[in-house]
Structure 1
Amino acid sequence: MTTPVPTVRDRRRWAQYLVNERAEALVYRQLATRREGEEREILLALADAEGRHESHWLDLLGGEPGRLPRPDLGTRLLGWMATRFGSIFVLALAQNAEGRSPYGDEPFAPAVMAADEKIHREVVRELAARGRRRLSGTFRAAVFGANDGLVSNLALVLGIGATGVAPQFVLFSGVAGLLAGALSMGAGEFVSVRSQRELLEATEPSDYADEALPHLDLDANELALVYRARGMAEADALVQARRTLAVVQSPGQPATGPIVVATPASHDVIGSAWGAALSSFLFFASGAIIPVLPWLLGLSGLSAVILALALVGVALLTTGAMVGLLSGAPPFRRALRQLLIGFGAAAVTYLLGLLFGVSAG
């Protein structure tokens, strides 16, 4: 296969690749300064890999060009966020950026570079996943709380307002909906998370029978049944049971000892019950106050409705984009989905309000 003859346009494209690789390497190095141990080493290794790609384009260009373009918008956004926000947001964006690598269709990029970018995406996705797992419990409650507050209170005030009641009644309904919804969300999250944690704790190994170990018959060895109940094969369970009893029943050992050295289950993914409840309460309230703001400012009628829709629309787009960003999905698509769902619910209640208003008239 013959290598195509480079054109002026090709050289411009190489220069763009060059500055993008440099900017991406800088992002990984900046993130590495906030990490320790293995994560730091991984980020620095990614930066070194981007440096190898940079060298490839430098070789094709015949050295450092006299003038270089700016990195593309997405790469500049990564760099800006890397110095100002938590690494999970930057890693989520970097994951999307690595997945959009143009090297697969680039005739001057060797196959190994295109393969590198695919692997980089998986590496970054795994790093971002660690942060997502740490955030998932409280973040889920926060996002759901804010979104529920936005949608439910927007639907409430528009539905009430469409009936033609006085602005003061719309305002009262919005504030009442805010308090009722926030308390309900907070209580619901607390009960949900606490129940889930208690359910998981009930599945962990118990020390209930530890004090009986020194008195077990070594030959009958019913301790093996415990291990089999925990998922061990029969032969492995018997070996483990004999080993445990040999230790516990040997001279000089304490009267009790653990049936199994169990690793405590991690509840990081679930999060704290109080943390989930508080974040859900606060974020529901912060979302629910937005549709009420026009009436708090003294507006009424169509002007209040339009301002409420505009404010809630911006908030829905923001929360949708954040969810998309943190989940590694396209932020714009998630933002648009959030907007359509929220406005769809509000439209239904508004039409019902109009209907009841006409009927009452």
Structure 2
Amino acid sequence: MADSNEPAQQGTPADRAKWRRYLADERAEAAVYRELAARRSGEEQQILLALAAAEGRHEAHWLGLLGGDERGIPRADVRTRLLGWGARRFGSIFVLALAQQAEARSPYAADPHATAAMAADERIHGEVVRGLAARGRRSLAGTFRAAVFGANDGLVSNLALVLGIGATGVAPSVVLFTGVAGLLAGALSMGAGEYVSVRSQRELLEASAPDPATREALVDLDVNANELALVYRARGMDEAEAQEQAAMLVARVQAAGGVTAGATDALAVVAEDDEAIGTGLSAAVSSFLFFASGALIPVLPWIFGMSGIAATVLATVLVSIALLITGATVGVLSGAPPMKRALRQLAIGLGAAAVTYVLGLAFGTTIG
């Protein structure tokens, strides 16, 4: 006869094992959101705590199906434990990006023991985390773009350079000096190019922004022959809307007797977020440093005195590892599968290096 104090058994043993896994994952995910919330304040903190509370409701659902029996609860899956580890130590955009992917992988929509509301919650949680992650992505966009592109270009271009030169059969010192020259030339070129690119982008935006002095003319405009409507039309409004908006603004300014702080300056245009563009100097420095760090890796074997096929193989292995890391990093931050992005980065980089290596072999054979 069963002990009356034992919890009621529901579901098959396989079902109960699955519910225990879900329970462990929900607890771990709630802990991740609480860890992230502890490192933030204001609205973001409130949002993260609300997510943790929602995961707590899901936890209660699975615990209810288990009859309150917490025996045999396993550890959370590896991905969720890694999220918790990252949240405790970094609390960064990387953790939010990984959490976004975790929410997207929820099995609740296909599980008959999960409620429709729980499945809907997980989809909405994914969008909430996507929104939080997007804030971090915007703040990283300018400098991060320069850093990733710089490192990747340094890895691929200098690996291709040293492999191509090395394949011709020249002395190891020539390969080394060629790699160092490629590092310096490429890093300077990347830094200068990124600075010019960002500065040019800012100057284009500034050229498109309205002239602040134009505001002073608003008080003297003829309401009946409202030239301001042409400004609105040039900015993309249709004729009727432009006439209406222009008349309202001129009437408001003239009633106030001048342009006041309360008057709507509808001449303003929405420009790109400065954070998304970044500054020319920061982008240039990031490009220089990351290109140089990437370009240094394929030269390391020759720096430490290696030569021939051993140096070539080691350089290729080191660059392959770095390409996988940069590709996975881009994948994580973009919310895409990191392994897919890593392999794509690896294939492109090694493909370019292989072409130059084959050309170097052919050239070395020709001159030999």
TM-score bucket of the superposed structures, by smaller chain: over 0.9
The letter for the 2-side match of 1:278 is: V
**Aligned with residue 149 of structure 1, among 151, 154, 168:** 154
How far the C-alpha of 1:250 sits from its partner, in A, is 4.9
How far the C-alpha of 1:173 sits from its partner, in A, is 0.2
> Which range moved further: 275-284 or 262-271?
262-271
> Which range moved further: 213-222 or 281-290?
213-222
Question: Structure 2 regions of 5+ residues with no counterpart?
Answer: 1-9
The letter for the 2-side match of 1:91 is: L
Equivalence for 1:138: 143
Q: Does 1:304 align with 2:346?
A: no
Contact 1:207-1:258 at 8 Å conserved across structures: no
Secondary structure of the equivalent of 1:19? helix
CA distance in 2, matches of 1:97, 1:258: 44
The letter for the 1-side match of 2:12 is: T
Equivalence for 1:268: 275
CA distance in 2, matches of 1:255, 1:64: 68
Secondary structure of the equivalent of 1:219? coil
Secondary structure of the equivalent of 1:220? coil
Residues 297-347 of structure 1 show CA distances to partners (whole Å, capped at 9, x for unaligned) of 011111111111111111011001001100111111111111111111111
How far the C-alpha of 1:84 sits from its partner, in A, is 1.8
CA distance in 2, matches of 1:227, 1:339: 49
CA distance in 2, matches of 1:288, 1:51: 48
CA distance in 1, matches of 2:132, 2:235: 32
How far the C-alpha of 1:260 sits from its partner, in A, is 3.4
Equivalence for 2:205: 200
CA distance in 1, matches of 2:162, 2:14: 56
Change beyond 3 A, Cα 1:359–1:86: farther
Contact 2:169-2:364 at 8 Å conserved across structures: yes
How far the C-alpha of 1:211 sits from its partner, in A, is 3.3
TM-score for the superposition, normalised by structure 1:
0.92
Contact 1:290-1:308 at 8 Å conserved across structures: yes
CA distance in 2, matches of 1:192, 1:80: 38
Equivalence for 1:50: 55
CA distance in 2, matches of 1:254, 1:91: 45
The letter for the 2-side match of 1:123 is: V
Q: Does 1:319 align with 2:326?
A: yes
Matches within 5 A, 1:182-221: 182-221=187-226
Q: Does 1:351 align with 2:358?
A: yes
> Which range moved further: 148-157 or 84-93?
84-93
The letter for the 1-side match of 2:187 is: A
Q: Does 1:92 align with 2:97?
A: yes
Change beyond 3 A, Cα 1:98–1:251: closer
How far the C-alpha of 1:224 sits from its partner, in A, is 2.8
The letter for the 2-side match of 1:308 is: A
Residues 248-267 of structure 1 show CA distances to partners (whole Å, capped at 9, x for unaligned) of 44586479998636366322
Residues 163-202 of structure 1 show CA distances to partners (whole Å, capped at 9, x for unaligned) of 1101000000000000000011111111111111111222
Equivalence for 2:292: 285
**Aligned with residue 67 of structure 1, among 61, 72, 85:** 72
Contact 1:214-1:255 at 8 Å conserved across structures: no
CA distance in 1, matches of 2:129, 2:260: 50
How far the C-alpha of 1:247 sits from its partner, in A, is 4.5
How far the C-alpha of 1:134 sits from its partner, in A, is 1.6
CA distance in 1, matches of 2:277, 2:331: 20
Residues 13-42 of structure 1 show CA distances to partners (whole Å, capped at 9, x for unaligned) of 111111110000010111112222222222
Change beyond 3 A, Cα 1:172–1:63: same
Identity %: 69
CA distance in 2, matches of 1:203, 1:217: 25
How far the C-alpha of 1:128 sits from its partner, in A, is 1.1
> Which range moved further: 70-79 or 132-141?
132-141
Question: Structure 1 regions of 5+ residues with no counterpart?
Answer: none
Equivalence for 1:328: 335
Change beyond 3 A, Cα 1:97–1:251: closer
CA distance in 2, matches of 1:345, 1:23: 43
CA distance in 2, matches of 1:229, 1:282: 43
Change beyond 3 A, Cα 1:357–1:6: same
CA distance in 2, matches of 1:291, 1:63: 57
The letter for the 1-side match of 2:145 is: R
Contact 1:20-1:72 at 8 Å conserved across structures: yes
CA distance in 2, matches of 1:288, 1:353: 19
Contact 1:324-1:334 at 8 Å conserved across structures: yes
Equivalence for 1:10: 15
CA distance in 2, matches of 1:105, 1:165: 62
Contact 2:30-2:56 at 8 Å conserved across structures: yes
Change beyond 3 A, Cα 1:301–1:208: same
Secondary structure of the equivalent of 2:275? coil
Q: Does 1:341 align with 2:348?
A: yes
Contact 2:215-2:259 at 8 Å conserved across structures: no
Change beyond 3 A, Cα 1:281–1:7: same
How far the C-alpha of 1:145 sits from its partner, in A, is 0.4
Contact 2:167-2:364 at 8 Å conserved across structures: yes
